[in-house]
Amino acid sequence: MAVQSPPPATTDLEFETLDLTVNVGPQHPATHGVFRMVLTVDGEVVVDCEPYIGYMHRGAEKLCENNDYRQIIGYHDRTEYLGSFNAEHCYVLAVEKLAEIEAPERAEYIRVICAEFQRLASHFMFMGAFGTDIGIFGTAFTYSFREREHIRDLLEEISGDNMMWNYFRVGGLAWDVPDDFEQHVKWLVGQVRQGINDIDGLLSVNEIFLTRTEGISPMTQERAVEWGMSGPMLRATGLQHDIRRAQPYSLYDRFEFEIPVGQNGDAFDRYLVRLLEMEQSCRIIEQAVEQMPKDGPIIADKLPRTLRPAPGEIYMPVESPRGEYGVYIVSKGQGTPWRHRIRSASFSNVMPLREMVKGTFVADAIVILGSTDIVLCEVDR
Amino acid sequence: MSLPVVLESLGGRDVIWEPWFDAILTLVAVTLIMTLLVFFLIWWERKLVGRLQMRLGPMRTGPYGSLQSIADAIKLVAKEDVRPATADRWVFEFAPYFAFVPIFMAFLALPITDDGFVRNIPLGLFYIVAITGLNIVGFVMAGFGSDNKYALLGGVRAGAQLISYEIPLILSLVAVAMVDQTLNLGAMIEAQDEVPYLVLMPMAFVVFLIAGMAELHRQPFDMPVGESEVVGGALVEYSGIRWGIFFLGEYCSVLVISALGAIIFMGGWIWPYSGSDLPRGLELIYQVALFSAKTFFLICAIFWLRATLPRLRIDQLMAYCWKVLLPFTFAQILVNGFVVVYDLPDVFFMLFSGALLAGLAYVTYMSVRRPGSLRSRRLVYARSS
């Protein structure tokens, strides 16, 4: 039952076997959206893999260039729909830096709490989907979605929406949080810890889960950096790189947290890094709730009616659940950005797919794709 | 046991029927009972797995959703019978029956009570094993006939997996049969009136359960129909009633495998060391209840594992069958032969089989452990972070 290296793709038999081309996606339960990879298989072994993207291309970047700076926030929700708050956070920080606006401290703390809860929700989503990719009949899904729903309840209570929050504003927040915010957050962190424990017990000690993930598509540090991978995919290879620590933004230099790393960069390490990261997010949230000013403004005063940042450019990266999510804005002093570009983590993370999938089994290809935790909206933009 | 005999045994008068009439009645009765049982099993699996997953399962149709299966059946029957234009017509349309009929026929030889056969076949075990082996054909036919690549992959996987796991499954049954010196299921149960084979040959039981679950292609052995890989495998092009027949066959297989386990390893209708002094009618009810309880226990175990375990990979599955299960099953047969030939006391079965089971567990455990096992690696993570 040990994981063996797959047999060579071509054999020395006298007769030739025919390679089969299998279309995985765009409509396939395991592609996490509309992703398509054309697998050339020799029996069960993948000889070649041709990934196709672009099914979700909406021209989001160009759309943003035709909108007021405040209208763009919603597009970031939809671009990174599993890490909406992280994406919003990135955008508002970029614009604030460009327009030289400072958000009040209380607003910044609430932003950090929201962003970390969003990271937790996204990682719970990953745990469920990854378990399903490997073949657990929905159990990982229901257990991780219990906590994900709790988190979404809180975020919905704050923002008034259940997925596309649109809550952050340039210079602060749309409105203040509910009165029982602190108690709710503290209760929720306990629930989340319970959920992490449950997932840990269900997956990380399961022998079949281990045989299916350990040693699958190992990635070296050098290759990962060459491909521009980031986030848990990069940290799984052992490189301790986290934007929250490497280029601290917002208030992340005020919190104590660790950056878990893996050893082999295989599918299991990617899973484990995410699992350990969730605990760190809980720690950040707890510290943020403690340090948060109990009262105060939630939006900067004297904001102009129409935002017209001085001519200039800015690149602002944040650590989204999937890695480095960055916004690059060029302003020419108008009411809309002259150039608005999004650097998405999923796009870089999924690029080495062909290299990772070649020579593995069909079932492994699904696990590898699942372990990259892609959001197709973010890849295609 | 035919219906007239049931009536007689329940105190009725002699009923004399024409054989053909009796045959038709039996057929209708078996079909009805099986369908109802499958309806119940589908509902029960959804409820049980639902509870394991913190859900309620079906709740809307009837009290606690108990009519859900019937609603689903009506939906399936009412659906259009779609056949892909490029499919091989006859292969495609007949595949469900090839998958279902063998399982259906296996029911005819299952002893529910001490004379509760439809037909008491002297080679009952041989008959069941031979006839259930046929349902591979249905899946391979569906895979080839659908003209779909997922179906082809699934069909080939099903063929490889079912044929491979047939061998340890049969050998584990042979291990019991060679001790009994009979293939008559009734006689095999009678032989367990003191100690069931579950205790005497735990290793054979474990192999039977693993191989049986592989035969059922359920988690963790569901590569032929793996939703996230081959999108339902051989069944991907089927809908409506043809898909329903496949589904019926799948749950009937669960019933047959569990009933076989209850008969051969758990003593069927017999509770160890209990002579019966009940009146005949009550005794029949007692036997049916005991047999059902044992079967139900195994069915629940299969459902429970389904909700817990992920899927193996096809090469791991094959390697486990040929490299681990098969040698250990052969060892069990050798050991049994040794004990039978030298006429050692029964306790030696238990000793040898227990040792083999420990060996099997150890080999299984070690084969998934590789350098840097999880426990030590977790410590490394904790330190590095």
Contact at CB, A135 and B222, closer than 8 angstroms: yes
The rounded percent of chain A whose pLDDT value lies above 90 is 21
Chain B CB contacts of A210 below 8 Å: 368, 374
Per-residue b/e over B180-219, b at no fewer than 16 CB within 10 Å?
Answer: bebbbbbbbbbbbeebbbbbbbbbbbbbbbbbbbbbbbbb
Q: Which residue has the tokens 């020799």?
A: A42
Average pLDDT, rounded, for chain B: 82
Residue A266 has pLDDT above 90, yes or no: no
Does the distance separating the beta carbons of B319 and A1 come in below 8 Å?
A: yes
Section A205-226 average pLDDT: 85
Residue A4's pLDDT is 57
Q: Check if B276 contacts A (Cβ < 8 Å).
A: no
Instruction: Kindly list the residues from chain B whose CB atom is less than 8 angstroms away from the CB atom of residue A134.
Output: 228, 310-311
The shortest C-alpha distance from B98 to chain A (Å) reads 25
CB–CB of A1 and B312 under 8 A?
Answer: yes
Residue A94: pLDDT band (50, 70, 90) is very high
**Residues B91-94: contacts with CB under 8 Å, at least 24 apart:** B91/B141, B91/B144, B91/B145, B92/B141, B92/B142, B92/B145, B92/B146, B92/B237, B93/B242, B94/B141
| Chain A, nearest residue to B55 by Cα | A142
Mean pLDDT of A268-274: 89
Report the residue from B49, B313, B370 with minimal CB separation from A212. B313
Tell me if A272 and B223 make a contact (CB, 8 A cut-off).
Answer: no
For B303, name the nearest residue in chain A, comparing CA atoms only.
A137
Which of A137, A199, A368 best probes binding to B when mutated, by most B CB atoms within 10 angstroms? A137
Give the integer Cα–Cα distance in Å for B249 and B139: 11
Amino acid at the residue B224: P
* pLDDT in the model for residue A285: 92
Asked if A85 and A117 count as a contact pair (C-beta separation under 8 A), the reply is yes
Q: Quick: pLDDT tens for A161-204.
A: 888 888 998 888 888 888 888 899 999 999 998 888 888 888 88
Instruction: Tell me what the mean pLDDT of segment A220-233 comes to.
Output: 89
Does the pLDDT value for residue A74 go beyond 70?
yes
Q: E strand or H helix at A330, and its extent? A: strand A323-331
3-state secondary structure of A323: strand
Partner A contacted by B315 (CB < 8 A) = yes
Average pLDDT for residues B244-249, to the nearest whole number? 88
Asked if A132 lies within 8 A of B222 by C-beta distance, the reply is no
Which of A41, A135, A258 is opposite residue B226, by nearest beta carbon?
A135
Q: Rounded mean pLDDT of B283-298? A: 87
Q: Give the residue from chain B lying closest to A136, CA to CA.
A: B310
Nearest-angstrom CA–CA distance, B100 and B250: 8
pLDDT at B379: 44
Q: Taking the model in full, what pTM does it have?
A: 0.86
Q: Hey, what are A137's tokens?
A: 């009949």
Of A142, A204, A208, the CB nearest to B312: A208
- Give the pLDDT confidence score for residue A124 in this predicted structure: 93
| CB-closest option in B227, B308, B377 to A139 | B308
Conformation bin of residue B353: beta by default, left when phi > 0, alpha when psi is -120 to 50: alpha
* Mean pLDDT to the nearest integer, A78-91: 90
Owner of token pair 């059902």: B292
Nearest CA-CA partner of A137 in B224, B66, B226: B226
pLDDT at A179: 87
**A312 close to A337: Cβ distance less than 8 angstroms:** no
Residues of A in Cβ contact (< 8 Å) with B385: 258-261, 276
Across B220-243, average pLDDT? 82
In this predicted model, which residue has the larger pLDDT, A278 or B109?
A: A278
With a cut of 90, say whether residue A120 has pLDDT above it.
yes
At A84, the amino acid letter reads: S
Among chain A residues, the shortest Cα distance to B364 is held by A1
Q: Do A260 and B54 touch (CB under 8 A)?
A: no
At B8 the pLDDT is: 57
Q: What is the pLDDT of residue B16?
A: 58
In B22-81, the residues whose Cβ lies within 8 Å of chain A are 49, 52-55
Whether A123 shows a pLDDT value over 90: the answer reads: yes
Q: Give residues with Cβ within 8 angstroms of A205, minimum separation 6.
A: B374
| Average pLDDT over every residue of B296-320 | 87
A258 → chain B, closest CA residue: B385
pLDDT category at A8 given cuts 50, 70, 90 is low
pLDDT score recorded for residue B266:
87
* Beta carbons of B309 and A136 less than 8 Å apart: yes
CA distance B204 to chain A (A): 20
Asked if B227 reaches chain A (Cβ–Cβ under 8 Å), the answer is yes
Which residue is closest to A140 within chain B, CA to CA?
A: B53
The answer, for B225 touching chain A at a CB cutoff of 8 Å, is no
Q: What is the CA radius of gyration of chain B?
A: 22
Q: Do A204 and B374 touch (CB under 8 A)?
A: yes
Cis-peptide into A218, omega within 30 deg: no
Say yes or no for a CB contact (<8 Å) between A258 and B55. Answer: no
